[in-house]
Amino acid sequence: MSDNTLYSDRMKMAELVAADGNLLSILQRLGIELGFGEATVADVCARYGLSKSLFLVICNIYSFRHYAPAMDSLDKNDIVHIINYLRVSHKYYKEVCFPGIHNKIHKLVEGLDDINRRLIDKFYDDYDNEVNNHFYFEENVVFPYIDSLFNAVFAGENEFSIVKFEENHSNIGEKLNDLKNILIKYLPEKYSSPMRFEILKEICAMENELRKHSLIENKLLVPLVQNLENSYE
């Protein structure tokens, strides 16, 4: 499927998944069970109480490199669904993706010399802490702030704003790219192994995942919250 052919709510959900198997993880995070038969995207979204517009935007973001989401298809009611999606994505990253990479790195460094073992171990441990701090801030500061706005309990004197979040929104994918470069460029050839290639493939997949995740935050969540903030002025 080309970038010019986007998903629609009239297509069958099975066809959408067949077009891009990576979307299976989206269904998993949203709690959509397989076995939907001939049901359309609209049918399945209605069954699970999901915004079909938001579901399609997320799927199009993940499948099409040059897709630019149209904000006019979303409204403030989608904010709750976006936050829920981001929360379950954080859980998926912390409990599935990053532990998988970490376990493989642990096995890889067992065969390295002391210098390279300490270098990679420390680099990944530092990165792990950065990721946890990033997610903690979003889940304990940003999301509660947005919830307060959405539920009309916003205090005008609150010093936080979504613009401050956007300005200080760190890119946790950059350091992952640094780790990838260490494994590609600087780890000696004698340490090449199937495990090294497996780690690199998972890191590349995770980099792409985090880019999509940031796009949802910056291009969907932030503008919607800004509109909500403006309604209180």
- Spell out, as residue ranges, where the chain has pLDDT lower than 70: 1-5, 153-159, 167-170, 233
Q: Which of these, 94, 96, 91, 88, lies nearest to 32 by C-alpha position?
A: 88
What's residue 233's pLDDT? 64
The answer to whether the CB of 196 falls within 8 A of the CB of 187 is yes
Quick count: other Cβ atoms within 10 Å of Cβ 202?
16
- Residue entry with tokens 């935007």: 57
Rounded Cα gap, residues 157 and 200, in angstroms: 47
pTM recorded for the entire structure: 0.86
Q: Which two tokens stand for residue 28?
A: 């998993």
| Packed helices 194-216 and 172-181: angle between N→C axes, nearest 10 degrees | 160
CA distance 1 to 21: 12
Both tokens of residue 34?
């397989």
Span 73-128, pLDDT tens digits: 788 888 988 999 999 999 999 999 999 998 888 888 888 888 888 888 888 888 88
Please state, in angstroms and rounded to a whole number, the distance separating the CA atoms of residues 168 and 138. Answer: 11
